[in-house]
A and B are shown apart, each in its own frame.
Chain A
Amino acid sequence: MRLEYFQLIDRVTDLNLSDRTIRTENTVPSASTVFEGHFPGYPLMPGVLLIETMAQTSGWLVVALNKFDRMPFLAAVKDAKFRTFVVPGMVLAVEAKLEHDGSGYAVTNAKITSAGKPICDATITLRVMPFPNDEIRQHMRAQAGRLGVPSEETAHG
């Protein structure tokens, strides 16, 4: 995870298009400027970044389901619960499942665990729109390669 760049996903470990699920694995960095303020002498991963981690995981699922033709943007977060503190060095397993594929929006249920222990969960709504420009589309393609997002041919389903 590169918190300062909002790169919160390290790798996609599973993508199942027929079940409409995705899993990612992400390691909280041992040091970050974020921890200098949150909190001095007691570093904790901010809850908003855990939300963003679930949203980005959900977003990659939506991107893949839309065959890289549409871009998701975070629109709403519901029922977010933070159950355990997250500290530097923890490995976070994130799961998201598409709850509903609407017209121009998608709703997912997402959760984070670490070593099997529940960390947080939420229902996430994403607006799904055409890519605003080709630069973002190319950026997402490049990121997909970095994260190991399976191609259409190798994804399950």
Chain B
Amino acid sequence: MSSTFDTIANIIAETCDIPRDSITPESHAINDLGIDSLDFLDIAFAIDKAFGIKLPLEQWTQEVNDGKATTDQYFVLKNLAARIDELVAAKGA
């Protein structure tokens, strides 16, 4: 069974045509991989479907805009994977 990171890295590689081996847990989806907001909608759709969750993108965006969070917390892929794991765990609780 692949890890959460592997799943999202594969989704990003396929959705955005980015070489899979250039995507690491430390990659920032926006700053390092150059993913824009429209492509991220496709990624979010694929993640939502793959994990059976609803990434709270609006809440995250609001937190970043309000200065309550940094983009690193949500868009560095190891952190994104951790957030997804939390959402999956909350769903099953």
Contact = CB atoms under 8 A, between A and B. Distances in A.
Q: Give the contact-size bracket for chain A.
A: 10 to 19
Contact of B48 (A76, A102, A125, A127): A102
A125 B56 CA distance: 17
Contacts, number: 35
Contact of A76 (B41, B56, B57, B59): B41
Interface stretch (A89-97, A103-111, A148-156): A103-111
A102 B38 contact: no
Given A75-B38, A75-B41, A127-B41, A104 B49 contact: no
A101 B55 CA distance: 11
A108 to B, nearest CB: 12
Contacts of A76: 38, 41-42
6 contacts: A100-B48, A103-B44, A103-B56, A104-B58, A105-B41, A127-B41
B54 interface: yes
A77 to B, nearest CB: 12
